[in-house]
Structure 1
Amino acid sequence: MAGAARATHGMEQREVGRQQVFDTIRAAGRIARIDIARQTSVSPATVTAITSELLAAGLIEEIVPEDREGAKRGRPRVALKIRGAAHLLAGLKIADRAVTVILVDFEGQTVAEYDQPLPHPVMSPAEMVGLVEAALDGACKLAGRSRTEISGAGVGLSGLIDARNNFVHWSPNLDARNVHLGRMLSEALPCPFFIDNDANLVAKAEQLFGEGRNTSDFIVITIEMGVGMGIVIDNRIYRGERGCGAEFGHTKVQLDGALCRCGQRGCLEAYVGDYALLREANIRSGAAPEEDLSRLYARARRGDAMAQSILDRAGRMFAMGLANVINIFDPKLVILSGEQMAYDFLYSEAVLARVRASVVQVDAPLPEIRIHEWGDLMWAKGAAAYAMEGVSALTIKGLAMNET
């Protein structure tokens, strides 16, 4: 028994070492073996053995420098990089009107981009599986590839999601609760699926491609139809024990307040989300119902008192919520992201002044707040990056299994 335990521990150690070396290569883009050893504190001999395994598995490749100046002084240092052709990956962002798909290679280079309209914003789990299948087919057709070539797919979905088990507790896009969506998708389509809350995947995209690069600790707040939050602590996304952490939109700002899509009352989202603002406008207005936030914003800019009061209240509620987040986490950086960043009523100077007034006062600068407006494609890129991580981990685990 003791021997078996030591063997298992040794196998786990080797798997951790492989993952560490692989992650270092991906983060660097191109890197020599000796530099991997220096950055990871893994011995050069072990780095050589691990990279030989990764080369044999086709996950990485060698790059000989084109500039051979200095070759007279010795053999040029060969760099290692991720082999882009090793895997084709998909990232999907399921929104209220469309599914946005991006196909990338194993290096993260874009292969194709595609949008699949939603027939309706709320669907059954089976309908969602069919929607994902159609969206992947459309993206593959555009790229001249086959769906069977996809090694893994990441899916960003709003709601309460247990990412470790690819399990959806609740999503406004589904008409059922407690859905094993990842299992359903993997059974219907020939690849593993990795599902997470869409705000977490925005945080992943910001970490790899956006405002969060080279920042180990930051928070992303997304404001669109709903309100989400992604938390990065020590370069890792924090999800909570049940996968329900960071639900900023469902923090309470009003006792027995407005009805939220989640079924509870007084949530921040019920005052700030697109649907909440339009709902309030339609309740107060005797005219034709508002269906587009841009028109409500334009009315407020023209001096419409009713529109101004709706957006002012949203700004006050948001300032309260944002100040609470800063007081709890004290982050270095806060990124405000999403479609509503096209309108400044949530980050006007008046709103930011309310935030500053409500944050615990110490003799140190407040966290930096950056605005990053982007569309569904960047959310999908975060989902693709999540799939890339998942496929990498499965592949490296497979190398360890081959040893037994």
Structure 2
Amino acid sequence: MKRRIYSWKTSRIGIDLGGTKILGALVDEAGNVVTSLQLPTFSDKEASQKELLSSIISIINQLIKSAKKEGQTPQGIGIASAGIIDQGTRTIRYAQSLGVKDFSIGKQLEDIFQIPVRLCNDTDAAAMAKWQKNNNNSDSFMYVSVGTGIGAGIMKEGVLLQGAGEIGHMTVNREGGICPCGNRGCLKHYASGPAMEEKVRTGHGRYAEMTMPEIIERAENGDTWCQDVLKEGAHYLGLALVNAVHLLHIKEIALGGGVLQEGEFFLKQVQTYVHRYTMPFMAEGLTVKRSPFKAEIGAVGAACIMR
């Protein structure tokens, strides 16, 4: 097999810190993934920031070893994290899916590895990666990740609107339950993977321990209860996306994250809702599609932000 040729002018490490896994990648100058690896975010629900930091350090050390085998020394580390990010202090101010507050991850990693570290929101990073992979041909779009939580990265006229995509905490039901963020009726409590799993499990019996991949598969095969739950979640997500289109006047929405990796039922419900309820002149030319990029998109974006 012919060995792939990488663009080795510089290399960087990108880390995507999510609610269920930490994914790290060694990325070349052109944004290609040379090698990647992942660990579970937590070994248990009560894990501390110290344990989280330890896992990240382990991944970075392994990626540095991989780089050295290629004769490379990574020029920086980019961290993409869910939650509210303070880029100035490189601190995760609040990430519900990680269970952390005021986590000064950037400074701690820079002190340990003695190379520059930047911190960004995970969906901002994914949007940056999409922009680079498309050779900057699409200047205004929104990348939306639906998984453990829901977030968005927004590119408007070639400018990344950093920190502006907390769509998972957009109120979609003013009579809804209280979110740990302090808001009421947040989108993530209706359209995220855990929210839809919880709703399906109220069906009891065979549904009592059903996971999201099983729910998606059953919906594809005609299970009406799973279809009803996915349809409700898709409509709440569609409502948020319509509001975003009306606010931002964007023409492209790329959908990613674990919930949208497989199956067509949920995706088609979202597409139908958005096109039905978007104002006609704003709906002209509007596309809502599954993102073609792989799971490494957040880590690649984090590495790209190090430029």
Q: What's the TM-score once normalised by structure 1's chain length?
A: 0.67
Contiguous gaps of at least 5 residues in structure 2: 1-5
Per-residue displacement from partner, 1:130-186 (whole Å, max 9, x unpaired)? 11110112223344449x933210111111112243121111354331222211221
Q: Counterparts of 1:162 and 1:196 in 2: how far apart (Å)? A: 8
Which amino acid counterpart does residue 346 of structure 1 have in structure 2?
F
* Alpha-carbon distance in structure 1 between the residues aligned to 2:29 and 2:61: 19
Q: Which gives a bigger RCO, structure 1 or 2 (Cα 8 Å, sep 6+)?
A: 2
Matches for 1:6-17 after TM superposition, within 5 Å: none
Tell me which residue corresponds to 1:116.
39
Mark the runs of 5 or more structure 1 residues left unpaired by the alignment: 1-82, 390-404
Contact 1:93 1:157 in 2 (8 A): yes
The within-5 A match list for 1:220-259 is 220-239=143-162, 243=163, 245-258=164-177
Where does residue 204 of structure 1 map in the other structure?
128
Residue aligning to 1:382: 301
1:337 maps onto 2:261 in alignment: no
Which residue of the partner structure matches residue 191 of structure 2?
272
Q: Residue 8 of structure 2 contacts residue 29 of structure 2 at CA under 8 Å; is this kept in 1?
A: yes
Listed one character per residue, the Cα deviations across residues 22-46 of structure 1 (whole Å, up to 9, x for unaligned) are: xxxxxxxxxxxxxxxxxxxxxxxxx
> Helix, strand or coil for the counterpart of 2:299?
helix
Q: Normalized per residue, which structure has more helix?
A: 1
Contact 1:334/1:369 (<8 A) preserved: yes
- Which residue of 24, 43, 59 corresponds with 1:135? 59
Partner of 1:150: 74
Equivalence for 1:184: 108
| SS class of match (1:284) | coil
Number of the residue aligned with 2:12: 89
Is 2:19 the partner of 1:100?
no
TM-superposed deviation, 1:98: 2.6
Distance 1:139 1:127, change over 3 A: same
Change (3 A) 1:262 1:159: same
Q: How many residues align?
A: 300
Query: Structure 1's 116 and 213: CA in aligned 2 closer, same or farther, altered over 3 A?
Result: same
Report the CA distance between 1:315 and its aligned residue.
Answer: 1.6
**What's the TM-score once normalised by structure 2's chain length?**
0.86
Q: CA deviation at 1:353?
A: 3.1
- Given the superposition, is the C-alpha separation of residues 217 and 290 from structure 1 closer, same or farther in structure 2, using an over 3 Å criterion? same
Residues 278 and 113 of structure 1, relative CA distance in 2, 3 Å threshold: same
**Can you list the C-alpha shifts for 1:265-316, whole angstroms capped at 9, x where unaligned?**
3111111111111111223324463352121122233433322221111121
> Residue 221 and residue 182 in structure 1: after superposition, are their counterparts in 2 closer, same or farther (change >3 A)?
same
How has the CA–CA distance of structure 1 residues 269 and 373 changed in structure 2, closer, same or farther, with 3 Å as cutoff? Answer: farther
